[in-house]
Amino acid sequence: MSHPARPAHLALARAARLWFLTFLLAQLAFAFFIIAFFTPSFLSGDYAAWNAKPHLVGYVPGDTVGNAQLLVHVYLGALVTLLGSLQFVAAIRRRYPVVHRWIGRVFLGASLIATLGGFYLTWVRGAQINAASTLSISLNGVLILVFAVLAFRSAWRRDFVAHRRHATRAFLLVNGVLFLRVGIMLAGVLLTPLGIRVDYDGGVFIAVSFLSWLAPLALYEAYLWAERSTWPAVRHVATTVIGLAAVATLAGAVAAAMFMWWPRL
Ligand code: HEM
């Protein structure tokens, strides 16, 4: 992140930082849930206990390859969820560039394996909700692969402007799974009182599926545009939208922790 001197730049940078902090809370809660839910049954060998919470397929007796894929997928998911944010800490980048490079390699490598494993779970194992959400998660996966490669290539070529952009896009896309959960819970909190149902085969779920990776990408492009725009008004609008996104992220994360994750532990 740059160090803008003018007020409109400063407000934009602060809004982005606020959003990042709210998202960090969501990431910590999600990673904690994954580790706390899967680890006791993994250590005791009681794999059937995975199915104590709803899955698309989950644990299937006898399907050693599929069960192993699921386990590797969720642990790599927790790992990349925890690692990605560290890359935005300027102090690490400046003082310990080797650490930044190694976290980056592990993050991109783990994201590639998690994504390929996700394709296996979806397309080979048949863990699908409906055609639209399958299309959405598959597009999300393809874009993770594209931006992970671009982020790695731009770092290799020492093109750090492009690297920062592609790596941030890869980070947002890798977190699509978490945005989906936060988004669904937020939609539930906002729409259920209005009598609108948020269920797996409804239009709201499909919309949130696509928005879970499209909206963060679009917001990031808006941020980049506002950052270099010569019109202060553009920065004010972007600052407001990112500030609202921070509130929405916090609300969705609290709802996910309270109603989706905590009751399962
Ligand atoms: C690299 C980014 C990804 C991360 C961090 C990630 C993380 C996770 C996590 C933590 C879960 C378990 C969630 C829970 O039990 O509540 C999960 C489940 C799942 N993921 Fe991913 N995932 C990623 C990418 C993908 C992609 C690209 C696909 C598909 C192309 C995919 C397909 C699935 C499926 C089908 C399940 C559910 C399996 C079941 O319930 O049987 N994932 N993912």
pLDDT one-digit tens code per residue, 37-91 = 999 999 999 999 999 999 999 999 999 999 999 999 999 999 999 999 999 999 9
- Whether residue 104 is contained in a domain is answered as yes
Query: Which residue of 81, 108, 121 sits with most ligand 1 atoms within 8 Å of its CB, as the best mutation to test the pocket?
Result: 121
88 Cβ contact partners less than 8 Å away, ≥ 6 residues apart: 1, 20, 171
User: Has residue 2 been placed in a domain?
Assistant: no
Q: For residue 1, is it within any domain?
A: no
Alpha-carbon span 254 to 232, nearest angstrom: 33
Q: What is the mean pLDDT of the chain?
A: 95
**Can you tell me the mean pLDDT for 227-240?**
92
Contacts of 48 by beta carbon, 8 Å cutoff, 6+ apart? 41, 59, 61
107 phi and psi angles, rounded to 5 deg: -60, -50
**Residue 56 alpha carbon, nearest atom of ligand 1:** 40
Question: Residue 198: enclosing H or E segment and its boundaries?
Answer: none
Closest atom of ligand 1 to 33 CA is 16
Distance CA 114, CA 80 (A): 9
Distances, alpha carbon 129 to alpha carbons 69, 124, 156, 188, 212, in Å: 18, 14, 38, 18, 16
Helix axes 97-119, 131-156, angle to 10 degrees: 150
CA distances from 17 to 2, 155, 161, 225, 227 (A): 12, 24, 19, 17, 14
Cα dihedral 164, 21, 73, 181 sign: negative
pTM of the model: 0.95
Within a domain: 58: yes
Q: Report CA(118)–ligand 1 centroid distance (Å).
A: 6
Ligand 1 binding pocket, CB closer than 6 Å: 34, 55-58, 70, 73-74, 77, 80-81, 111, 114-115, 118-119, 121-122, 127, 137-138, 140-141, 144, 174, 177
103 assigned to some structural domain:
yes
Range of the domain at 108: 7-264
pLDDT band at 9 (very low <50, low <70, confident <90, very high): confident
184 found inside a domain: yes
Q: What is the pLDDT of residue 258?
A: 97
**Total domain count for the chain?**
1
